[in-house]
Structure 1
Amino acid sequence: MTIEIRPITQGEAVEYMRVMPWVSGFPQEEPEPVAWYTGRTAFPPLVQPTAERLEQAAAGLLTDWFRPQAAFVDGKLAGGSAIVSVDITLPGGRQVPMGGLTWSGVLPTYRRRGLLRQMMGALLDDCRERGEFLAGLHASEGTIYGRYGFGTATFQHRWEVRRTDAAFRTPFTDPGTLDLVDGATAAAIWPVLHEQVRAQRVGEISPLPGRWDGLAAGALPADGSGPAHHLVHRNAAGQVDGAAIFKVPWAPDPADAGVLAVASIEALTVDAYRALWGLLLDFDLTKRVVAARRPVDEPLRWMLANPRALKLARTRDNLWLNILDVQRALEARTYAATDALALEADGRAHIWSSDSA
């Protein structure tokens, strides 16, 4: 058996995509409800791309920011992964380049042969060569990536809030305005707002190219969850300081009906945050609000008259990090006070050498 690990060529792009779980139809997540999904099933509906869609995606696959590696066994493409070039906000607010690991998959008939381990070594070497001293990922399974030097850095929550019991603790008069806008307007607002928010949020990463393109199109999602609605908050000066994307999906089961699903919400000020949630928690003809991908330090629970109205439905790891250069990582973060700090790095750790990855 001959194993080769290398970047793919354009002519291999379609075959490379076919080994990915989201294309091949194999499981992509642990068989448990995930915190980032607002539905009630363990797995979100899988919509496999057509051959035509694969060809279109493969045509634009190889870019400066998408850096794939593939595993070939006796000449056959058997697994793949990739690094995407992103920035991450460190404690203190500095933003630095990070290699984002994504699209990892090995065909079931080639598992347990060390293919992912060898691809991981090539990917992390690529990060080092480009000067990225951090590598990060969102893990599909909690037992895989620790062996390659990754550890959990942030967590996320999934909330469920009873609408009829979600009154706020103190009265609030919004100095700004709320507005429902169309997808084209939202597509222009979100890139600017997100850049402002992520500069303030430790662990936030920059969006990949095209992340907001689908908002303007306004296409109905294939999973039948209904159209997206776009809510925008402007301050007293008319400047956008918050936005939310939500759906009110139809459900055949009365137990799941009347749910308002919050896909995204970001705010620059407490006033905007309070105003957005004030409306989302008080839509007529709804009984429950579900919000996924919420940071663990959000203050909504403590704004409610009854904190128990907000149920923490799921918690899971969010961002996993691998520190490829400890000294540079520590030098890049900043602190609110000037003082002395001594740290000792465990020399036995295996995360800095691809030979032991």
Structure 2
Amino acid sequence: MAAYYRALPFANGLPSWEPEDAAWHGGPEPWPPQRTPASVEQLERMAAADTKDESFHPIATFVDGRCVGASATISFEVTVPGGRTGRMAGVTATGVMATHRRRGYLRRMMQAMFDAALERGEPLAMLSASEGSIYGRFGFSPATYRTRWELARHEATLLPAEPDPGTLELVDATQARKAWPLVQADVCAHRVGELSPLPGRWDGLTDEADGTNGPLRYLTHRDQHGNVDGIANFRLPWSPTTDHAGILVVESLEATNPVAYRALWGLLIDFDLTKTVVAAGRPRDEPLRWMLTNPRAMRITRQTDNLWARLLDVPRALTQRSYLTPGVLRFAIGDDRMCRANNRTWRLNADGPMVTCVPTDEAPDLTITLSALSSLYFGGMSARHLAYAGHITPHADGAIGQLARMFWTDAEPHNSFGF
């Protein structure tokens, strides 16, 4: 395991992401920060935890007995259109040593991970792409997005609303660790694209300071019956310059209903002795904008793709979700070089109580690339844009419109944390 970790950039203090401003980073400086190489003790602790984790599936490449590449999948449940959850293999912690790149080792690891995921009954793979040019050749394509937005406190006025029957409370990390699973469970049940958190997801919450960033603060909302229905983690980082002083950074905020959502934001956007509110990793269709007297006050300052999707088993993946508009669609796939069973014409029938997707000898209504179908899976991408870009070729009148209507979801898919 120590050799496995040393093949990964993060364990060696090397960049594991492009050193750019990221939409899930609330600060003004480039992300990620420089890391210190992991010590022997840290590697041992990581190995002890990972080998006990049944959801963690590591894989490595060895050349002459030396580990030169590593990756892993994590077994998740993800909420799909219709509110059900589907099994998903989350690809993570991927790297090939600089001395052994461009030799096909990453492709061989990907193939082995896809095969293993299919054996476990996981018809879908997802990842966060460190570079946009790497993972498309394996069939992955953007499926969800994240934004970073900010607003000036003096512009942040909420529209009038009924009085809040609940209460807000600043709590410590111990209380936050208890509150987060309760709120997140409700969020997962209703938000397409959200991941079901693994055990221990919030164990690291602490009241200790993090360098000059200061400690995380925790704000909860309880309804009139005393039940927690919203929570936010935020920071008040110190800055050596006046340009970045007085910023309140919201690292995460979730609520189970509009009343709690409005109450949490109402306090955070009018926090004493602050000038600017920054929120990172937020949905593109943040409802807060429509609660402001001046919707322009909320300015999106960064945006990036978040999770990339890849269908491993097309019929199983398509039948575990539902479709907003009933219909029948025949489509052909012919470009999947890694899961070749997907290459044929399929008949998707969502016109009854049960969704089916079976092979057919009928003429297809359209031909679609595997990556385009993967992007459309959660319902947040445009079928017309993908067709315009050449990823979908219609063979029947109205085929693109039918595809768009069937796969679209409202609201846009989003997931709140990475892996």
When normalised by structure 1's length, the TM-score is 0.92
Query: Residues of 2 paired with 1:138 and 1:253: CA distance?
Result: 33
Q: CA 1:185/1:343 → structure 2, altered by over 3 Å: closer, same or farther?
A: farther
Indicate the residue corresponding to 1:332 in structure 2: 320
Amino acid paired to 2:334: G
Identity among equivalent positions (%) equals: 50
Q: 3-state SS of the aligned residue for 1:198?
A: helix
Q: CA 1:179/1:345 → structure 2, altered by over 3 Å: closer, same or farther?
A: farther
Alignment counterpart, residue 9 of structure 2, candidates 12, 16, 21: 21
Query: Residues of 2 paired with 1:131 and 1:52: CA distance?
Result: 35
1:152 aligns with 2:139: no
Amino acid paired to 2:138: Y
Amino acid paired to 2:149: W
Aligned 8 A contact 1:322 1:351 in 2: no
Deviation for aligned residue 1:27: 1.4
Query: Residues of 2 paired with 1:254 and 1:294: CA distance?
Result: 26
Deviation for aligned residue 1:116: 0.7
Indicate the residue corresponding to 1:6 in structure 2: none
1:341 aligns with 2:328: yes
Structure 2: segments with no counterpart, 5+ residues = 344-369, 371-419
1:114 aligns with 2:104: yes
Q: 3-state SS of the aligned residue for 2:212?
A: coil
Indicate the residue corresponding to 1:54 in structure 2: 43
Deviation for aligned residue 1:260: 0.4
Over residues 30-56 of structure 1, what are the superposed CA-to-partner deviations in whole Å (9 max), with x where a residue is unaligned? 232110111112223233233212211
State which drifts further: 95-104 or 18-27.
Answer: 18-27
Structure 1: segments with no counterpart, 5+ residues = 1-12
Deviation for aligned residue 1:171: 4.1
Aligned 8 A contact 2:19 2:32 in 1: no
Q: 3-state SS of the aligned residue for 1:276?
A: helix
Aligned 8 A contact 1:323 1:351 in 2: no
Alignment counterpart, residue 190 of structure 1, candidates 172, 180, 187: 180
Query: Residues of 2 paired with 1:256 and 1:169: CA distance?
Result: 28
Aligned 8 A contact 1:22 1:46 in 2: no
1:88 aligns with 2:78: yes
1:99 aligns with 2:89: yes
Amino acid paired to 1:189: A
Deviation for aligned residue 1:206: 1.6
Q: CA 1:266/1:50 → structure 2, altered by over 3 Å: closer, same or farther?
A: same
Q: 3-state SS of the aligned residue for 1:187?
A: helix
Query: Residues of 1 paired with 2:212 and 2:118: CA distance?
Result: 42
Deviation for aligned residue 1:350: 3.3
Aligned 8 A contact 2:111 2:338 in 1: no
| RMSD of aligned alpha carbons | 1.9
Indicate the residue corresponding to 1:306 in structure 2: 294
Indicate the residue corresponding to 2:60 in structure 1: 70
Deviation for aligned residue 1:297: 2.1
Q: 3-state SS of the aligned residue for 2:261?
A: helix
When normalised by structure 2's length, the TM-score is 0.78
1:36 aligns with 2:19: no
Q: 3-state SS of the aligned residue for 2:234?
A: strand
Deviation for aligned residue 1:74: 1.6
Amino acid paired to 2:13: G
Query: Residues of 1 paired with 2:271 and 2:39: CA distance?
Result: 38
Deviation for aligned residue 1:234: 0.7
Over residues 11-70 of structure 1, what are the superposed CA-to-partner deviations in whole Å (9 max), with x where a residue is unaligned? xx1111112111112212123211011111222323323321221111222231110000
Q: CA 1:255/1:349 → structure 2, altered by over 3 Å: closer, same or farther?
A: same
Indicate the residue corresponding to 2:240 in structure 1: 252
Query: Residues of 2 paired with 1:206 and 1:345: CA distance?
Result: 32
Q: Displaced runs of 4+ in structure 1, greater than 3 A?
A: none
Q: How many residues are paired up? A: 342
Amino acid paired to 2:95: G
Indicate the residue corresponding to 1:178 in structure 2: 168
Query: Residues of 1 paired with 2:261 and 2:105: CA distance?
Result: 46
Superposition pairs for residues 200-239 of structure 1, below 5 Å? Answer: 200-215=190-205, 217-221=206-210, 223-239=211-227
Deviation for aligned residue 1:309: 1.1
Deviation for aligned residue 1:343: 4.1
Q: 3-state SS of the aligned residue for 2:204?
A: helix
Deviation for aligned residue 1:196: 1.1
Query: Residues of 1 paired with 2:224 and 2:253: CA distance?
Result: 20
Aligned 8 A contact 2:182 2:228 in 1: no
